[in-house]
Structure 1
């Protein structure tokens, strides 16, 4: 299966402090040498604690935030090197669904106007063809045609997110970047939206980059997963294997900290100490070593590379949990 998206050595830094308030400028390393790929028709999850850089990665893929270093290759074309005209064409093929369905829709535009606008911008048909495309998109996400002439404030959160998905679909994209698309919704509505996205992935052959902090959602939707910590990917592999048998100590902590909907379940939490370091003052070596029970002297001196440790499994750790991963076969 060929890769639709290839990201290599992606870096994004932000400046903090300084300005008219004074103080010393500091560099926030939001994304620090991130690499991954997404196959056609597959979904890749980016998970980690708040502030780990996963949403920044998502936005750099569409150049909503300009990366500082690295390459983003979509279907053989380097997005970072694309001209404004080429980028406009690429954005027809790559769309984003934002986290907050209350903020991502213009309150002064009807749903019909919101869905038709990108079609007019990209000159995708005459008025009749655009109207048909809008009708098709709103029906595909499970809303009636009568919704088209209403305004965003007239809908619930789940309905607004369906509208956001419909807006992403009207251009017939090949890749959708979903940035926490269900985190602001009730659990029952989350399930409906995930089922909708799963159906769209199957019927349209869509690829997804799916950002989430909810491991249950990622387990349900994503084929592969990347675990991020302080701007780096520290583990990658098939979702079920990574969540059931993590290789990196942080992945285990993240897994054990996720609630399990089973009153009979008893989980022994992995030991973890200390606080997350500030992104302006990252520790040397492995950034997780100050909180890791398995850390040795070399962990504080060298950055562990993301090495392949088994078929389809990679981890950036000098002392991975091989004895706990049960990697037979």
Structure 2
């Protein structure tokens, strides 16, 4: 695989509490030792429950949130070590599409102004070139030229997300970080946006880090998937293999909890107990052991490493599941 993005041992913690009333500070362990690679033209999905750290990982890749430790290399360039000038150049090659297309667009800027701003910031092209680039990019995402002088509130949710995608594309990036890009949209519109992203991925040979809680969307769009739980990747591998035959008990529960678009389907839920532990007070050993039906004494003491199970498959579990009927 021709690796474009390499992430190693990424860690991010936040402080919670404290202040004038003297409440004790607590440490929120948002990301704990996360590592993965993204190849050229490849899409990697980050999935898990709300609060598992997947969106925090996405934002650290662009240093919108500064990680505490670990390394991020983009095409051999050290992202964490980049100064302001180098980081500006990198952000031309790495772009992000946010979850809420209305909140991520300036309501006082027209589409023309929104798409022209990145080009001016990066000093790309003269005015005539910028106009031509905006027109071409709007056509690429399925919006008419007449949309250029309208404001965000004049568009539907799906159209606003197309504008957000166009803003990312206008700089001709190599990698797009998509943070829940379709979760705020109706199902029919989700399908249209996914088809658009799939086409852009093929035509532009784009790479994606795709954050989602919807396993159906991830199955459709992502080549590989990383399952996250309490800030750690607990299983990774080719998407179909991980979702069809997961090794980690949590991956099984996550898959079984995903809605199936078939009223006649019989869904057998895997056993799970309790609630997700607070990220300020993580369990010892395997963080999933308080909820796991396969828990053994070893799980309470030692945290399992993410190890190879099969070719291209990894899981962090002392007692992995052997098959979908296990």
Aligned 1:1-329 pairs, distance under 5 A: 1-324=1-324
Structure 1: which 5+ residue stretches go unaligned?
none
Mapped partners of 1:325, 1:223: distance in 2:
24
For the Cα contact (< 8 Å) 1:234–1:248, is it kept in 2?
A: yes
> SS in structure 2 opposite 1:28?
strand
RMSD across aligned C-alpha pairs, in angstroms? 0.9
Q: Deviations over 1:228-252 (max 9, x none)?
A: 0000000000000000100100000
Mapped partners of 2:102, 2:156: distance in 1:
9
Mapped partners of 1:156, 1:268: distance in 2:
38
Mapped partners of 1:177, 1:281: distance in 2:
30
Mapped partners of 2:325, 2:239: distance in 1:
13
Q: CA deviation at 1:324?
A: 3.6
Mapped partners of 2:262, 2:20: distance in 1:
53
Q: CA deviation at 1:325?
A: 7.9
What is the number of residues matched between the two proteins?
326
| TM-score for both structures, normalised by structure 2 | 0.99
Which stretches of structure 1, 4 residues or longer, exceed 2 Å deviation after superposition?
A: 323-326
For structure 1, which segment, 204-213 or 18-27, has the greater mean C-alpha deviation from structure 2 after superposition? 18-27
Q: CA deviation at 1:264?
A: 1.6
| TM-score for both structures, normalised by structure 1 | 0.98
Mapped partners of 2:234, 2:220: distance in 1:
21
Structure 2: which 5+ residue stretches go unaligned?
none
Mapped partners of 2:269, 2:122: distance in 1:
51
Q: CA deviation at 1:20?
A: 2.0
For the Cα contact (< 8 Å) 1:247–1:325, is it kept in 2?
A: no
Q: Deviations over 1:141-167 (max 9, x none)?
A: 000000000000000000000000000
